[in-house]
Structure 1
Amino acid sequence: MEWLNSLFFGNESFWGGGVAHSVLILALVIALGIMLGKIKVAGISLGVTWILFVGIIFSHFGMRLNEHLIHFMKEFGLILFVYSIGLQVGPGFFSSFKKGGVRLNLLATMVVCAGVLVTCGLYVITGLPVTTMVGILSGAVTNTPGLGAAQQAYSDMTGIDSPDIALGYAVAYPLGVIGIILSMMVLRRVFRIDFAKEEKKALDTMDVQHDSVAQPHSLSVVNPALEDKSIRELQGLVNRDFVISRIRRQGGEIEIADDDTLLHVGDQILVVTTPRDAAAITAFIGRDVQVEWEQLDKRLISRRILITKPELNGKSLAQLKLHAGFGVSITRVNRAGVDLIAQPSLQLQMGDRVTVVGTEVSIANVEKVLGNSMKRLNAPNLIPIFIGIVLGVMLGSLPFTFPGIPQPVKLGLAGGPLIVSILISRFGPKFKLVTYTTMSANLMLREVGIALFLACVGLGAGEEFVETIIDGGGYAWIGYGAIITILPLLIVGVIGRLWFKVDYFTLIGVMAGATTDPPALAYSNDLAGNDIPSVGYATVYPLTMFLRVLSAQLLILFLA
């Protein structure tokens, strides 16, 4: 049985103390943690954070790994995790600041700042090490990248790891999840929320915010000034965003339109534009009409085609010259679930779905040009991922000197890859860089990264965990974490409700996003009975994730 003991507890003189021992312990910790994460109590689960607690238990009972291996696997897992998050949120990061998103992001920023201020106040009052307080902060707001950023910043400063950060995180995390949900329940009671009224208010707001989504409109040309004017001339006169895809002449003939197509009074046209611009375009051209385009001419069909050829990434619609080459018209481009107007200057990205109008034969030819191969799209693009990681590590290692800080500031292995992945996913197509990954591939990369990170954090901190709880004042840490969780959420929740007039469903989504807490989002959606909280969550999540990572590092750099 010596081999079995060596395999589980390690022995450098035997093969089990090397690779086999390390792989076995990591795999067991991750597998058991994920299985426990599926257990729900009162509808609430700690999810993958159970991996951290399983790692602590293993380490407490002597099943540990080499500290250098733990350090490497932890940092590598963190890089994979934050990079995949950046790839996911990057395309919507900058657009989240538009319109109503500014208000919601301001509320989320207030939550982050209030949490940091409360943490600093407790740090001064309690006299606890800043490493412990930052760990408690990260656990209280259930933000694992913040934990990683703090650990990496402290390691860069001192050359050693601080187990206090992980201990504070582990102690505060469970009540952090519960505290976020309790805050939502308190606000519901205080403001006596009527769900029917809140849903109507939220849907009205969403209609206003989504007025940039492309929609088709059938119009009749009435304005005599448009007689013999080309569509290109019409666009210059109206100065609005729209595309005309089909024209029905007075004789009943339907044809595909392009910029040089001439208009005549009495023509019926199919215009694709936004609700924001529809009224102005209709008033200038003529009036709305009802036309069953597909029934009138069965030769012309409309089909969505998937962009899957890498060489098309970053090319504009005008560069494809599809109308001249195949006699088709592109009316809309669906990107990340949103229909965009197919302006000639719009740059295509891998994974876009373009709506093409034309004959069956012409569309079949266009499919060959655009790709339309899901199999090709499912193939992972590893080169941009690892190039992005290289750039992220370089950016994270770049020192910045600020007055009053003795140690140069670095973005670290959490901040650097996160920023690069956000930028590369948003602007990569402009430089012909294919950054598209399927949701399943992104999720796999993220889950593997967070599993490795949490397992290594738990295995590294478990030796001192029980002693810290019993003899080191760990019980008080739970209370500090609860204050950091609940107080900022209640304050900002009241502000959002009274001053910003945000509906309750969107507000609880913002609260979940401001703490980057998926269990709280799941509770919010179940409570609302709709997906309105998800909109608030998605709007503030990118900026919040960035601020959480940055603030954790800054607290270490300024106060450690």
Structure 2
Amino acid sequence: MDWLWEWIQATFREYPSIPIFLTIGLGFWFGKFRYKSLSLGVVTSVLLIGVVVGAVFHVPIGAPLKSLFFLIFLFAIGYRCGPQFVSAIRGQGIKQVIFAVVLCGICLAVTWACAKFMGYNAGIATGLFSGAQTISAVIGIGTDTIQSVLNAGTITPEEAKNWDEMMPVCYAVTYVFGTIGSAWILGNLGPIMLGGLEKVRKQAKELEQQLDHSNLPNDPAFVDGNQPIVFRAYKVTAEHFSIPQTVAQIQAHFQTLGRRIFVERVRDANGKILESTPDMVVKLGDEVVLSGRHEYIIQDESWIGPEIDDAKLMTFAVEKTRVMVSKKAAGLTVDELRAKPWMYGIMIGSIDRSNGIEIPVLAQTKLMEGDMLTIEGLPQEVQAACPEIGYEEKPSDQTDVVFLALCIFVGALVGAMTLTIKDVPISLSTAGGALIAGIFFGWWRTKRPSVGYIPNSVLWFMNNLGLNMFIAVIGIQCGPVFIPGIEKVGIMLFVMGVISTSVPLFIGMWLGAKVFKFHPAINLGCCAGGRTTTAALGAITSALDSSVPALGYTVTYAVGNTVLILMGVAMVLMFL
């Protein structure tokens, strides 16, 4: 079997794409395993599998390959966060923006202090920052910055090589606690620090009730998506209709009962089926189709008449679509939005913000530019509402590749520009440029929504495969030096990681409560978002049994994801 082993080694070295895909496949597979609440996650699994592959096969891989995937990943991150990032900077959520920037600054300062205290070099310090703050992209930004410094002659090739090799080692050592520790601190210790779990849970429920307070009748948009909006048919036989009623009068009567129900269709005594209008008259013997919340509609037999099963009457199109909120609707609460005349008959199913985070659909939830609403209603009603809300995003599987490629090109080109100050080269790097380009063009698309469409499935692919292809290459390249690297940094690196993860979170929660005066649930969400730790958001919402913390997560996530990545540049430069 020696010949087979030798053939595999020779093949992997000649065709490095083969071990890369092996690493990706095994990494995603191992990343799915968990023990109770513990999991390595996909990124760390890919890195460790890559280390094993690299250590066993010693595969040489060129730098351009990993840079290509990293640029794709960073552009996708910026593109998804861009609308909320710019909207927040321009005034919506500015308080949360400032908090996120301050928290990121604390993360940088604490990590820098730990690295200085231990006498670490730029590579170890940047890897520590990347793992402790769970921001994997810092490895790529750090690598690009080291290359820029090397090109400027500030460091030697040997130093650059050593720094590059140590970064992923230190990231792997500190990332696990960075993820699990953050979730445990914010989900368990955070509520205790802010007044006790039961008290904070009660405050979250109270805030949820306040945000759900509406000046309008109850709306099916305000219930959980697992309680469906239904359409049902009735025969008009009740005495109430001995005097014919208009559709407007019927719906007004429902509103006096606290129910938002619509008359969608009417079949008159002649058997003719008509789409309803406000002045259409309904009389005894007619048949009507009502739409609304299930538990409300089933109460209407005594007031209207018996429910009927009529396939022809009930056969009509209902449209469900996604709409991007534009400037004209941004700033409105859900309550204010549904009060608009063009929202007649429209139900809001969900609101997605920033990195695909679903926020609660409550009466006082304020919409932001770039939010994605899922709305449902009759086609003519949906088509009337869509242009007033923003831009309807028709389902499509086609990516605007021209837009995608040229935006990354422009961003990377701008990022490659270098400014030298006192012999220190300063630049965004090509990776940082791609991130900024993603933010700018993601926001710009809210102004020109017909250009630059990238399906969510493609963004997921760019985000996940882009990052993990990069991480796979990093792992394979550092495989031969991984074990010696761990021996070099020792157990104290793990301790420094614990400090770098924990201290900023405790300071952040204190600042959120005492300085920024956030509601406790929003405070915890802001800390999770500013640290870009989705696992912690899950732990918080589970502990509080409320989705309210997500309202503090989205804006701070958009800001933190950008600022922390760019701080990878600062971390390298601070150790020159």
TM-score with structure 2 length normalisation? Answer: 0.68
Of 418, 423, 438, the residue aligned with 1:399 is 418
CA deviations on 1:89-108 (whole Å, 9 max, x unpaired) are 12222233577733333332
Of 438, 455, 460, the residue aligned with 2:472 is 455
CA deviations on 1:119-154 (whole Å, 9 max, x unpaired) are 222233222102211110111011011221111111
Q: Which residue of 2 aligns with 1:203?
A: 208
Which residues of 2 match residues 349-368 of structure 1 at below 5 A? none
1:550 equivalenced with 2:566 (yes/no): yes
Letter in 1 for 2:119: G
Of 176, 183, 188, the residue aligned with 2:178 is 176
Of 38, 52, 76, the residue aligned with 1:57 is 52
Question: Matched residues in 2 for 1:313 and 1:180: separation?
Answer: 32
Of 100, 103, 113, the residue aligned with 2:105 is 113
Letter in 2 for 1:34: F
What is the CA distance between 1:505 and its match in structure 2? 3.1
Question: Matched residues in 1 for 2:383 and 2:121: separation?
Answer: 66
Alpha carbons 2:74, 2:463 under 8 Å: kept: yes
Letter in 2 for 1:476: M
Q: Alpha carbons of 1:510 and 1:254: their partners in 2 closer, same or farther (altered >3 Å)?
A: same
1:146 equivalenced with 2:138 (yes/no): yes
Determine what percentage of the aligned residue pairs are the same residue: 21
Of 93, 112, 121, the residue aligned with 1:129 is 121
Question: Matched residues in 2 for 1:373 and 1:140: separation?
Answer: 38
Of 275, 282, 288, the residue aligned with 1:299 is 275
Alpha carbons 2:12, 2:18 under 8 Å: kept: no
Q: Which residue of 2 aligns with 1:193?
A: 197
CA deviations on 1:408-445 (whole Å, 9 max, x unpaired) are 32211321111111111211353565223232221112
Letter in 1 for 2:103: V
Question: Matched residues in 1 for 2:326 and 2:528: separation?
Answer: 35
What is the CA distance between 1:543 and its match in structure 2? 0.6
Secondary structure of 1:408 counterpart:
strand
Letter in 1 for 2:13: G
Of 425, 429, 454, the residue aligned with 1:437 is 454
Q: Which residue of 1 aligns with 2:81?
A: 89
Letter in 2 for 1:112: C
Secondary structure of 1:502 counterpart:
coil
CA deviations on 1:31-64 (whole Å, 9 max, x unpaired) are 111111112233132211210111112222x323
CA deviations on 1:341-378 (whole Å, 9 max, x unpaired) are xxxxxxx9998878898979x979x99xx99895x623
CA deviations on 1:238-296 (whole Å, 9 max, x unpaired) are xxxxxxxxxxxxx98889xxxxxxxxxxx9999xxxxxxxxxxxxxxxx9999965369
Of 15, 26, 32, the residue aligned with 1:38 is 32
Letter in 2 for 1:559: F
Question: Matched residues in 1 for 2:91 and 2:544: separation?
Answer: 24
The size of the alignment, in residue pairs, is 461
Alpha carbons 1:388, 1:421 under 8 Å: kept: yes
Q: Alpha carbons of 1:453 and 1:205: their partners in 2 closer, same or farther (altered >3 Å)?
A: farther
1:509 equivalenced with 2:509 (yes/no): no
Q: Which residue of 2 aligns with 1:261?
A: none
Alpha carbons 1:8, 1:24 under 8 Å: kept: no
Q: Which residue of 2 aligns with 1:413?
A: 430
Secondary structure of 2:426 counterpart:
coil
Secondary structure of 1:35 counterpart:
helix
Secondary structure of 2:38 counterpart:
coil
Question: Matched residues in 2 for 1:351 and 1:460: separation?
Answer: 40
Deviates more, 1:473-482 or 1:518-527: 518-527
Q: Alpha carbons of 1:294 and 1:410: their partners in 2 closer, same or farther (altered >3 Å)?
A: same
Question: Matched residues in 1 for 2:449 and 2:185: separation?
Answer: 46
Question: Matched residues in 2 for 1:125 and 1:424: separation?
Answer: 41
Q: Alpha carbons of 1:377 and 1:189: their partners in 2 closer, same or farther (altered >3 Å)?
A: same
Q: Alpha carbons of 1:518 and 1:466: their partners in 2 closer, same or farther (altered >3 Å)?
A: same
Secondary structure of 1:380 counterpart:
coil
Q: Alpha carbons of 1:390 and 1:469: their partners in 2 closer, same or farther (altered >3 Å)?
A: same
Deviates more, 1:388-397 or 1:121-130: 121-130
Letter in 2 for 1:467: P
TM-score with structure 1 length normalisation? Answer: 0.70
Of 61, 71, 74, the residue aligned with 1:79 is 71
Question: Matched residues in 1 for 2:173 and 2:61: separation?
Answer: 22
Q: Which residue of 2 aligns with 1:381?
A: 400
Question: Matched residues in 2 for 1:349 and 1:120: separation?
Answer: 35
Secondary structure of 1:294 counterpart:
strand
Alpha carbons 1:26, 1:455 under 8 Å: kept: yes
Alpha carbons 1:67, 1:460 under 8 Å: kept: yes
Q: Alpha carbons of 1:102 and 1:254: their partners in 2 closer, same or farther (altered >3 Å)?
A: same
1:47 equivalenced with 2:19 (yes/no): no
Q: Which residue of 1 aligns with 2:14?
A: 18
Question: Matched residues in 1 for 2:380 and 2:174: separation?
Answer: 62
Letter in 1 for 2:5: N
Q: Alpha carbons of 1:363 and 1:148: their partners in 2 closer, same or farther (altered >3 Å)?
A: closer
Alpha carbons 1:509, 1:535 under 8 Å: kept: yes
Q: Alpha carbons of 1:2 and 1:92: their partners in 2 closer, same or farther (altered >3 Å)?
A: same
Question: Matched residues in 1 for 2:489 and 2:260: separation?
Answer: 74
CA deviations on 1:486-509 (whole Å, 9 max, x unpaired) are 011111112212343433433332
Q: Alpha carbons of 1:31 and 1:7: their partners in 2 closer, same or farther (altered >3 Å)?
A: farther
Alpha carbons 2:166, 2:485 under 8 Å: kept: no
1:4 equivalenced with 2:9 (yes/no): no
Alpha carbons 2:177, 2:497 under 8 Å: kept: yes
Q: Alpha carbons of 1:174 and 1:381: their partners in 2 closer, same or farther (altered >3 Å)?
A: same
Question: Matched residues in 2 for 1:175 and 1:315: separation?
Answer: 41
Q: Alpha carbons of 1:44 and 1:539: their partners in 2 closer, same or farther (altered >3 Å)?
A: farther
Secondary structure of 1:94 counterpart:
helix
Show structure 1 runs of 5+ residues with no match. 217-250, 256-266, 271-286, 318-328, 341-347
What is the CA distance between 1:156 and its match in structure 2? 1.8
Q: Alpha carbons of 1:294 and 1:521: their partners in 2 closer, same or farther (altered >3 Å)?
A: same
Secondary structure of 2:263 counterpart:
helix
